[in-house]
Chain A
């Protein structure tokens, strides 16, 4: 069974840093592009970042560009989101998600979602 297990997150003050991790099981991480999606409390879904299967390509939403870094260690089946210069409006549940099609080279539907990790940023 394909699963994504997240860890990290928590409470931080404005301007500080935090890292969330996502461990994949049941599939080979390196065969799939992966993304991070967030959801502010009571709000909708916002795509944050995407990394290609080999980790060479990385894309970001404008709202986090220059502050967040997505990375992956395929040997450990793990993806990371390093968040810096955190702001109050970064407060959200962060989900790691898997693309539905391997090695597609395109952006795909997200067929597997992690359980979510809450990140709370206070002033």
Chain B
């Protein structure tokens, strides 16, 4: 099983600040890494697919990078609506797995 480890678990950032979340895979997964945003009491939403492809309708302040075992989600110019938990997800091999999540708080 491929284990995804996100860091940090929690990040508190001021509005207009930058958020950087790292997702490390226990083995190489190419670019089969996706990012989701989940707000309280809501279903997760896809924001980045295949490491760096922005999903339709996602604001341009969200970006992803990386390949192999190390991936990064960056949120530039943070807005209040970005307060959420972010999960990475690999689809390289079964079982499909998720990172433990990173909670982003707005100061």
| A113 contact set on B, CB distance < 8 A | 43-45
For residue A94, give the distance in angstroms from its CB to the closest CB of chain B.
11
For residue B44, give the distance in angstroms from its CB to the closest CB of chain A.
6
Name which residue of chain B comes closest to A62, CB basis: B95
B99 to A44, Cβ gap below 8 A? Answer: yes
B87 to A107, Cβ gap below 8 A? Answer: no
| A106 contact set on B, CB distance < 8 A | 91
Contact residues of A between 41 and 71, Cβ < 8 Å to B? 44-47, 50, 59, 61-62
Asked if A102 CB lies within 8 Å of chain B CBs, one says: no
B44 to A45, Cβ gap below 8 A? Answer: yes
Interface residues on B, range: 20 to 34
A-B contacts at CB below 8 angstroms, number: 55
A107 to B32, Cβ gap below 8 A? Answer: yes
A95-B43 contact given A35-B96, A62-B95, CB 8 Å threshold = yes
A111 to B94, Cβ gap below 8 A? Answer: no
Contact residues of B between 81 and 107, Cβ < 8 Å to A? 87, 89, 91-101
A47 to B96, Cβ gap below 8 A? Answer: yes
For residue A41, give the distance in angstroms from its CB to the closest CB of chain B.
12
For residue A44, give the distance in angstroms from its CB to the closest CB of chain B.
5
Name which residue of chain A comes closest to B92, CB basis: A107
Asked if B24 CB lies within 8 Å of chain A CBs, one says: no
Contact residues of B between 50 and 107, Cβ < 8 Å to A? 50, 55, 87, 89, 91-101
Closest 5 A/B residue pairs (Cβ): A107-B91, A109-B49, A47-B96, A109-B34, A113-B43
25 cross-chain CB contacts under 8 A: A44-B87, A44-B98, A44-B100, A44-B101, A45-B36, A45-B89, A47-B98, A50-B96, A95-B43, A100-B49, A106-B91, A107-B32, A107-B91, A107-B92, A107-B94, A107-B96, A108-B49, A109-B50, A109-B55, A110-B34, A110-B36, A110-B89, A113-B44, A113-B45, A115-B43
